[in-house]
Amino acid sequence: MEKCKAHFTDADIEVDGIILDGCVLLPAPKRADMKPAYCSGGQCYYPPFFAIELAKNMHFDLLPFSTECEWGKYNNGEDSLVRGWYDYYCSTEDYDVKYGYCDTKTGRIHIPPEMGYCADFNAFGAAIFGGAVGSDDEYLIKNGTSRETAEESKRIRDGVYSGLINTKGEIITDTGYVGIIKSHHGVFFVFQTADGWGVVDSEGNELLEPLRGEISWDGMGGFTVRTARGKDGRDTYGIINFEESFCISNGFTEEPAIIYDFPPEKRRKNLSFDEHFHAERFRLTQKDDKYGLIRDVLENPLKPLSTYSELILKPIFDYDELPDAAYNAWVEVEIMYYARILEKTPRVFPGRIGDGWDDVPEDIYEDVRNFMANNGMVQPETVDDIPR
């Protein structure tokens, strides 16, 4: 029997326990509905699920634990899945306390303790692991580090290499990062000292290369990137879609976090390419005393990364001008859309009734006609007349 600690890293709680016959057991009052897995000196021990309420909320029934042991002690003679990673990134084996994962309902060790650190799994089957931290908060503070900086250093595990691991104990990141922050939405913000912040998903795929300032994301729309203070002493912000990896708009002097209650009567909804989104919201952008508008779209609620932002208005408007300005912007896009469609739609097409103009909304009918005339766009008479 060995001593161990169970770790609930999201809640920043640890509980003393024991390892018996390859199972992690935690102390708890005797239950009337089940026999203890072990008793000693009047203390009962159960698998984590039956001992600690927090263990019932662990994803994939896997709980981090730590114990002081030699390499390979709990690995059943198999090759380690993480040993090579530590040899490459950390070049050290000098930590006695090692981390692994146990099954919450049985206590059985699922991933052997061979890591310097590991954290709770997220809902997508990924967790942060890495090297052991050498200094605690109080040590940093005593040596001149502010408490805020010390807490931030601990939060991102700054100064030690970290990566991502899956529920099989396999490493899913090709890179060792010097900082990782877990998101509640299935992505991780990763930091490279010489470059900056980036984003990876729960399968280890790089969504944004670590080249930017601090990144945040609330689970819908694009990522918000904060650029460090410039010559005027102010931070600036931009929005990046991960599939495009460039700012759709930037230079905001305030973080675009305020949700804007867009008036429904001003929302232009009849765009044909707008029919399939699942949810949308609007966020204000601001540059000094002028405002703009970002639209965040979630295409599929079952795929959290099927989301993006689009620029509706640059921050050049007064606040009360936003509804009309956005409406006019949508109308302009709609006019161009139908003009391009009609430029490829012959007036006479075998088997079809109508010449394509029946699909154009009545209120922009003449606007589309004028746009085509002013831009040299002609609707073909037959299929053979379509511009190639």
Instruction: Report whether 292 contacts 251 (CB < 8 A).
Output: no
Instruction: Report whether 163 contacts 176 (CB < 8 A).
Output: yes
What pLDDT, on a 0 to 100 scale, did the predictor assign at position 270? 57
Nearest-5° Cα angle at 115, 55 to 207:
85
User: 168: pLDDT confidence band, cut at 50, 70 and 90?
Assistant: very high
Instruction: Report whether 313 contacts 322 (CB < 8 A).
Output: yes
Query: In angstroms, rounded to a whole number, what is the distance separating the alpha carbons of residues 182 and 195?
Result: 19
> Does residue 138 register a pLDDT over 60?
no
> Does residue 275 register a pLDDT over 70?
no
Q: How far is CA 284 from the centre of its chain?
A: 21
User: How large is the average pLDDT for residues 38-47?
Assistant: 94
End-to-end CA distance of the chain: 79
Q: Tell which residue, 17, 1, 134, has the closest CA to residue 66.
A: 17
Average predicted confidence (pLDDT) for the chain: 87
Query: In angstroms, rounded to a whole number, what is the distance separating the alpha carbons of residues 182 and 200?
Result: 10
Query: In angstroms, rounded to a whole number, what is the distance separating the alpha carbons of residues 38 and 252?
Result: 60
Q: What is the pLDDT of residues 174-199, one digit of tens each?
A: 888 988 999 888 999 999 887 889 99
Question: SS3 string of the chain?
Answer: CEEEEEEECCCCEEEEEEEECCEEEEEECCCCCCCCCEEECCEEEECHHHHCHHHHHCHHHEEEEEEECCCCCCCCCCCCCCHHHHHHHCCCCCCCEEEEEEECCCCEEEEEEEECEECCCCCCCEEEEECCCCCCHHHHHHCCCCHHHHHHHHHHCCCCCEEEEECCCCECCCCCECEEEECCCCEEEEEECCCEEEEEECCCCEEEEEEECEEECCCCCCEEEEECCCCCCCCEEEEECCCCCCEEEEEECECCCCECCCCHHHCCCCCHHHCCCCEEEEEEEEECCEEEEEEEEECCCCCCCCEEEEEEEEEEECHHHHHHHHHHHHHHHHHHHHHHHHHCCCCCCCCCCCCCHHHCCHHHHHHHHHHHHHCCCCCCCCHHHCCC
User: 273: pLDDT confidence band, cut at 50, 70 and 90?
Assistant: very low
Nearest-5° Cα angle at 98, 94 to 103:
165
Q: Tell which residue, 158, 138, 170, 280, has the closest CA to residue 220.
A: 280
User: How large is the average pLDDT for residues 56-60?
Assistant: 94
User: How large is the average pLDDT for residues 360-375?
Assistant: 93
User: How large is the average pLDDT for residues 290-311?
Assistant: 88
User: How large is the average pLDDT for residues 347-365?
Assistant: 80
Phi, psi of 37 (to 5 degrees): -75, -25
Report pTM: 0.82
> Does residue 157 register a pLDDT over 70?
no
What pLDDT, on a 0 to 100 scale, did the predictor assign at position 268? 83
Categorise residue 354: left if φ over 0, alpha if ψ from -120 to 50, beta otherwise.
left
Q: Cβ neighbours of residue 244 under 8 Å, at least 6 residues apart?
A: none
Query: In angstroms, rounded to a whole number, what is the distance separating the alpha carbons of residues 310 and 222?
Result: 8
Q: What is the pLDDT of residues 119-130, one digit of tens each?
A: 999 999 999 999
Query: In angstroms, rounded to a whole number, what is the distance separating the alpha carbons of residues 351 and 236?
Result: 56
Q: What is the pLDDT of residues 223-241, one digit of tens each?
A: 999 987 666 778 899 999 9
Query: In angstroms, rounded to a whole number, what is the distance separating the alpha carbons of residues 266 and 316?
Result: 19
Domain limits, the chain: 1-121, 336-385
User: 262: pLDDT confidence band, cut at 50, 70 and 90?
Assistant: very high
Query: Over the Cα atoms of the chain, what is R_g?
Result: 28
322-343 helix and 365-374 helix, angle to the nearest 10 degrees: 60
Cα→Cα distances 313→195, 274, 286, Å: 31, 17, 11
Q: What is the pLDDT of residues 9-20, one digit of tens each?
A: 999 999 999 999
